Structures are given as structure tokens and as C-alpha cells.
Structure 1
């Protein structure tokens, strides 16, 4: 059995109160890493998650943040460093539940909201954290992207397009910051039984016909679990992945192969 190790400090999970984000935080805790989760409005969920993580024997904390505001992100960075002394990894999983509509039907306001949260948000977080990583001899970014980056799913542009911009930012960080022992990679997320998928399913957006058709694109013929995403994030953040940077790993059951 492979036992993973991490640099000193905590994993900082943006979007840690979401269905997938909670699963990612849980896997870091199970692997023995301290965890700081960021949330926007789900305070009770965040606090419940922290209690769960602490029960696994690690130090954990929750921090409220609006990722669209750079002063908010800087404040949270200070809180996390004050609580944990160091951040070894930033996991970017922040993002809104978005409408399933065509590009032609998308309004500028809808597109702007997704860009501000997912794309500007990641840049703001990276801009704030990079000096900390340099000062402490390195660190890593793990971006939760979309399996749609390889095979565009119709109607999901509000999720896929902002994340595609982030893929370039991740490669840019990997290219420019490697000399400082800073790594950056992406986990491309497929259909996971959590978060946005379950919310849209409950709303009737994703019905039985949708599931049958999408299953045709998934060789494993089943949906993923949050722990599947978490396991990939934990590996990419660990010392065992210390020579991996600028890469994508699709955790999607083979979606679109």
C-alpha cells in the first residue's frame, strides 16, 4: 500500500463546502494532511465538514470568502497562515451552479458571473499565494477542471469555458514557477454524484434520458464519487508527485474516449 506524504502545512480547498470539495477535503484528512476549507455562503456545511475532518485526527479550519474580491482572498490567506503556519497546496474547486444552456442563449451577465468566480477567482488566489509558496520553498496548485475540456458537452459552456481558461493559467504557473519548486496540475472532473450534478438532477434538468445518453460516453458505465476526485488531488499534492507539473488527469470514467 502506497503511503503518501506532504510538505509541512495545510491543503487550502476553495469550494470546500460543496459536494465535491467536501470529498476532496475528506481525502486530504484521511491521508494525514491538515485542511483549511473556504466557503462563500454555506457556513453550517463548512462547520460540519471541519468537525468531520478533525474527527479524522487532523487540524482543520473553515474560512468565509468571496473569491471575486482580492481583499477577501488576501484576508483569508492571512487567516489560514495564522492558523496553520504554512499552505502546501491550493485546491481550486470554487464555482457556481450554472444553467445548462447553449452559448447563444447565454447572457453576458451569466457569462460574467462564471468568469468572475471561476477564472478571475483562481487568478486572484494564485496571485495571493505565489509569494507564500516562494517564501517557503515551494507548493502546489490543483485545479478542478472539466472533462469537457477534451470533449465539449453541449449546454455546459458556463462551466467548461471558464475552466478552459484556467487550464492555460495552470500551465503558465507550471512553466514560470517551477524554478521555485511550485507545481500546478489539473484534475478534469467528469459526472460526479455530488454538487452541481445532484442539484440539477433534483431540479429535473438531468433526467433518465440524459443519463442514458451520457452513459454511452462513459466506458465505465457509472458515475464517479467525490472520493475519486479527492484521491487524484491528494496524489498530485503529495511528495510522491513531486516531478509532475503542468499536467491534466481526467477522472471521468473515460468520458469522451
Structure 2
């Protein structure tokens, strides 16, 4: 039975790069997201095969139905899930509405929780599995007007560590990757004209000890390491992939 990985938020950025990285290493990839057209573009780049799982993580009933189909297919053995889907919104404590906080928690925390809750019995039955949650360096050290986003990403880090303790005796590993500033569509500068974008990236890159901002592939390689058997004796790890900005 061919090994497989399920990746949320797989239509672009870190999720798409992670799908391609796993595929390079022989994994069949379940691509989860809402934009079917972009998911299809990513699927074409997955040389070991891919299937699109179009679903909204906030619709728990529909999500469980789709995940049940994946786990019940018996064609592939899902060995890893990568919780990458997320949203970013800027706010301060006194400016963020209850709706903004609820939205951040719904997508960035409850979404991963629902995925893991569905897969836990599956991993337990097959004798193990791997979970990689994508948090952020802002979940470790908040900066600027990111009150809700930073708080929820910190919760994701803490929950990953709890999950590692719960899953350890069952051979279910849980690890967390905390990206720094990465060139992905979640950031406003990604949509700038090429000349303005280059100027912005050069300026931001100059603030990083390694002299550049991250690329999705930088994060994807770290996720693959933690998600695959390359890190079979690693659980509860919180890995910052940030160009060294956490040291400044």
C-alpha cells in the first residue's frame, strides 16, 4: 500500500511547496483546500500522484465526511497530516472584534484540531502516524499589531506539545514548524508589481541574519523532515525556520 500525506491549505504557498516536496519523495498527496482550480495546478506537479479534497475546514460535518472517504479508501496508507491552512489578520487588543478573534481561532486552531481528531483513531489502528502543525514565529514572539494571530498560533504550539505527549505511547508523533517571513500570498507584498515587490523583499531580507526572506520550499523541506521517517525519534519539537530573525 502506497504511503500518503494529507495537506491542508495546499493550493498555494507553503502548502503547495510541501505537497511537491512529499511527492518528490514517493508520497501520494491528498490536497485539501477550497480553490479547486489552484489545487488542480498543484496536483499536476505531484509526480507520485495526488487527489483533490475540496472542503471548508469550518464545516465539521462535511469535513468528517471527506476525511472518512480518504481514510476508508484503502488504496493508500496515510502516514502524515500537515495542518497548514491558516489566515492572517492584523489587529491590536483594543481594535480586534470578537468576530475577528473567533475567525482566527476557528481557522488557525479548530481547523487543525478537527483534522487530528478525525485521524487519531486511524493512526492508532494502523500503529502510528505523524502530525505537523504549521504555526509561526509570531506564536513564539509576537511583533507589531498581531494580537489575535499571535495568540492563536501560540495555542497551536502548546497544543502540539500536548498532542506529542498523548500520542507518544501510540507511536503518533506531533511536531510544529514556525516559519518566519516567507514570500507567500498571505502577505500583502506578494501582490505588488514586480519592481515594487523586489524592492520590498530586498528591504525585508536585509533585516534577516541570512540576508533574505524565506521561500515556501525552505519551509517545505523542514515539514518533510518532521513529517517523514527521517525524524522517527522526534516528537514535540518546535522548529523555527526563520532565517535567524529570532536571534535579533
2:191 aligns with: 202
Structure 2 residue 219 is matched with structure 1 residue 229? yes
Report SS of the residue matched to 1:86.
strand
Q: Which of 241-250 and 76-85 deviates more?
A: 76-85
Query: 1:187/1:221 Cα in 2 relative to 1: closer, same or farther (>3 Å)?
Result: same
Name which of 75, 87, 91 aligns with 1:101.
91
Report the alpha carbon displacement of residue 60 of structure 1 after superposing the two structures with TM. Answer: 0.8
Against the structure 1 CA distance between its residues 227 and 209, is the aligned structure 2 distance closer, same or farther, given a 3 Å change threshold? Answer: closer
The DSSP-based 3-state class of the residue aligned with 1:47 is: helix
Unaligned regions of 5+ residues in structure 1, if any? 1-6
How far did 1:67 drift?
Answer: 0.9
How many angstroms apart in 1 are the aligned matches of 2:76 and 2:24?
20
Corresponding residue to 1:135 among 98, 121, 125:
125
The CA deviation at 1:193 is 1.1
Task: Provide the rounded CA distance (Å) in 2 between the counterparts of 1:177 and 1:73.
Answer: 22
Separation in structure 2 between the aligned mates of residue 86 and residue 73 of structure 1, nearest angstrom: 19
Tell me the equivalent position of 2:26. Answer: 32
Backbone CA RMSD of aligned residues? 2.2
Given that 1:37 and 1:62 are in contact with CA atoms closer than 8 Å, whether structure 2 keeps it comes out as: yes
Q: Kindly indicate whether the alpha-carbon contact (under 8 Å) linking 1:36 and 1:63 is maintained by their aligned counterparts in 2.
A: yes
Asked if the contact 1:13–1:25 (Cα under 8 Å) also holds between the matched residues in 2, the reply is: yes
| 1:64 equivalenced with 2:57 (yes/no) | no
Give the alignment's TM-score, normalised by structure 1.
0.87
Q: Which runs of 5+ in 2 are unaligned?
A: none
1:95, CA displacement in angstroms?
1.1
Does 2:106 match 1:116?
A: yes
Q: Distance in 2 between matches of 1:142 and 1:173?
A: 11
Contact 2:184/2:216, CA 8 A, preserved across alignment: yes
Give secondary structure in 1 for the equivalent of 2:17: helix
| Alignment correspondent of 1:89 | 80
Normalising by structure 2, report the TM-score.
0.90
Q: Structure 1's 186 and 240: CA in aligned 2 closer, same or farther, altered over 3 A?
A: same
Aligned length: 243
Deviation (angstroms), 1:31:
1.6
Does structure 2 retain, via aligned residues, the 8 Å contact 1:10–1:84? Answer: no
Q: Which residue of 1 aligns with 2:4?
A: 10
Q: Distance in 1 between matches of 2:106 and 2:240?
A: 24
Q: Which SS does the other structure have where 1:224 is aligned?
A: coil
Stretch moving more, 175-184 or 188-197:
188-197
Choose the corresponding residue for 1:157, options 128, 133, 147. 147
CA distance in 2, matches of 1:59, 1:213: 36
